[in-house]
Structure 1
């Protein structure tokens, strides 16, 4: 299931258009990272998400930016779970967000 399917989903859940664009851009960034860096690893997994988060930290992204990206990926994760593309969530906001 590609990002185009996802781009319509938050709208039906009552999200603002700007938020949808932000979610989609964050998901595309995650997918680009996976294609470039983790070619041999399952794309949608806890491991790939943690590697991406570590990459963002290493690249010196602001904590607020990383947390926004994590939130976007959590929404995408919820979408994939709802559509039964994955069996269980691989992102947990409480555990994954970075503390200030």
Structure 2
């Protein structure tokens, strides 16, 4: 699968998110189920600037494909969101 077709997962590594658990997401790529490893591109972000947006819950935050936000993110919640993106986008997992 080409890089442009991959699901982009941005993990906020800003201070608040990091302290509240995004450091646990730093190994997300290694924890992905085998069927998702080829369709996901995981990157860290210095800050996603979502902490003060009342539309979202609590840190840590993960952004998927530039628009979907997972708040209070855990590895399990992010993997579930990735699976939903795969299903919605028709990508093969």
Length-normalised TM-score, structure 2: 0.30
Structure with the larger helix share: 1
Higher strand share: 2
Q: Tell which has more relative contact order, 1 or 2 (C-alpha 8 A, sep 6+).
A: 2
Taking structure 1 as the reference length, the TM-score comes to 0.28
